[in-house]
Amino acid sequence: MSSPVLVAAANGRTGRAVLRALLARGMRTRALVRRAGQVDGLLALGAHECVLGDLEDPATLAPAAAGCGTALYIGPPMHPGERTMAANFLRAAESAGCAHFVYYSVVHPVCREIRHHRLKLEVEEEVVNGHLPYTILQPARYMQHLEPLLPQVRDGVHAMPFDVDARFNVVDLEDVAEVTARAVEDPRMRGGTFELAGPEALSQRDMAATLAGLLQRPVEARALPLQALRERALAAGASDDRVEQMLLMNRHYDRHGMLGSPLVLETLLGRPATCFEGYARRVLGLAGR
């Protein structure tokens, strides 16, 4: 088996999806996590190795990267230290002699008023100016936003903290993970930046209509007030900084949505990207109906 792929933030939702996709293609994986308590779950998922490290502590990253062929950086969501942590990971990959660096960015990092978009844009520049062959992936907003909403959707409400007519090319994380795995093994993707957006420009109102059709009961699209979002996030333990960035992002979404083209994603998949209805059928347990 070839040199392992080092996956940062491997225990998160995105990291786990990417690990599954890498394993499905027969690649050896090394999962980087911060806490020892996360190791058993990732080994059970199939990760070949797990290593402890802190993206804010460069000394812990050098041994993690040793012997790896590809270093794949997935950052903690909306973290104010994104640029520093990504740079630490990139330097560790360079020092370890990795052959390839994959940076998991975001669709439209040029939307600089959203801090985590701006920070990812700055990291993209650092990656392009670095010393390793690289691939930059720019995923759109996930369809997986639906999963925490399922209880309220079943009660007839689809509520998000922005205008119900703001449109997004939401994308299935499973499609993005599949392309991420391809980026690791396909040398033609090196030196490229790839926008990964879903196949439909959908509003919250559109999604509610699709869900209503599948559930065969009314589902109302609602714009959740930002104050309600703030209160829920703080009650769930989010930091003040994280909450403020969530509010800033959703104000941008309220005004502009976040559109993208599915062409790159579908070309790389070699098939149509998952549509929202197909994804919703899967999550609702209706895939065979």
Looking at residue 88, its pLDDT comes to 98
Q: Does residue 165 fall inside a structural domain?
A: no
Tokens of residue 62, six digits: 């050098």
Q: Does residue 93 fall inside a structural domain?
A: yes
pLDDT band at 257 (very low <50, low <70, confident <90, very high): very high
The answer to whether residue 187 scores a pLDDT higher than 70 is yes
Looking at residue 287, its pLDDT comes to 73
pLDDT above 70: percentage of residues in the chain: 99
> Would you call 243 helix, strand, or coil by DSSP?
helix
Looking at residue 2, its pLDDT comes to 84
Q: DSSP string of 33-96?
A: ES-GGGHHHHHHHT-SEEEE--TT-HHHHHHHHTT-SEEEE-PPTT-TTHHHHHHHHHHHHHHH
User: What is the spatial distance between Cα 285 and Cα 261, in angstroms, rounded to a whole number?
Assistant: 28
- What is the value of pTM for the model shown? 0.96
The answer to whether residue 1 scores a pLDDT higher than 60 is no
- Residue 22's H or E segment, with its range, is helix 13-24
Counting runs of H as helices and runs of E as strands, what totals does the chain give? 12, 11
Q: Does residue 36 fall inside a structural domain?
A: yes
- Residue 202's H or E segment, with its range, is strand 202-203
The answer to whether residue 114 scores a pLDDT higher than 70 is yes
User: What is the spatial distance between Cα 98 and Cα 216, in angstroms, rounded to a whole number?
Assistant: 52
Q: Does residue 126 fall inside a structural domain?
A: yes
Looking at residue 153, its pLDDT comes to 96
> Would you call 30 helix, strand, or coil by DSSP?
strand
Instruction: Give the mean pLDDT of 45-56.
Output: 97
Rg over CA atoms, the chain: 19
Instruction: Give the mean pLDDT of 79-84.
Output: 96
Instruction: Give the mean pLDDT of 178-200.
Output: 98
For residue 50, give every residue at least 6 positions away whose Cβ sits within 8 Å of its Cβ, in sequence order, or none: 10, 30, 31, 32, 33, 38, 39, 42, 43
* Average pLDDT score over the chain: 96
Looking at residue 288, its pLDDT comes to 65
pLDDT band at 222 (very low <50, low <70, confident <90, very high): very high
Residue type present at position 214: L
Q: Does residue 242 fall inside a structural domain?
A: no
Looking at residue 86, its pLDDT comes to 98
pLDDT band at 155 (very low <50, low <70, confident <90, very high): very high
Looking at residue 144, its pLDDT comes to 98
Instruction: Give the mean pLDDT of 251-262.
Output: 98
pLDDT single digits (tens) 238-250: 999 999 999 999 9
Q: Does residue 289 fall inside a structural domain?
A: no
Instruction: Give the mean pLDDT of 280-284.
Output: 96
For residue 97, give every residue at least 6 positions away whose Cβ sits within 8 Å of its Cβ, in sequence order, or none: none
Which residues constitute the domain of residue 99? 5-140+171-198+260-269
For residue 128, give every residue at least 6 positions away whose Cβ sits within 8 Å of its Cβ, in sequence order, or none: 134, 136
Residue type present at position 97: G
**Rama region for 100: left / alpha / beta (φ>0; ψ in -120 to 50; rest):** beta
Looking at residue 151, its pLDDT comes to 95
The answer to whether residue 94 scores a pLDDT higher than 90 is yes
The answer to whether residue 136 scores a pLDDT higher than 80 is yes
Q: Does residue 64 fall inside a structural domain?
A: yes
Tokens of residue 215, six digits: 């559930």
Q: Does residue 251 fall inside a structural domain?
A: no
CATH of the domain at 23: 3.40.50.720
User: What is the spatial distance between Cα 232 and Cα 161, in angstroms, rounded to a whole number?
Assistant: 12
> Would you call 98 helix, strand, or coil by DSSP?
coil
User: What is the spatial distance between Cα 65 and Cα 58, in angstroms, rounded to a whole number?
Assistant: 11
Looking at residue 20, its pLDDT comes to 98
**What's the structural domain count of the chain?**
1
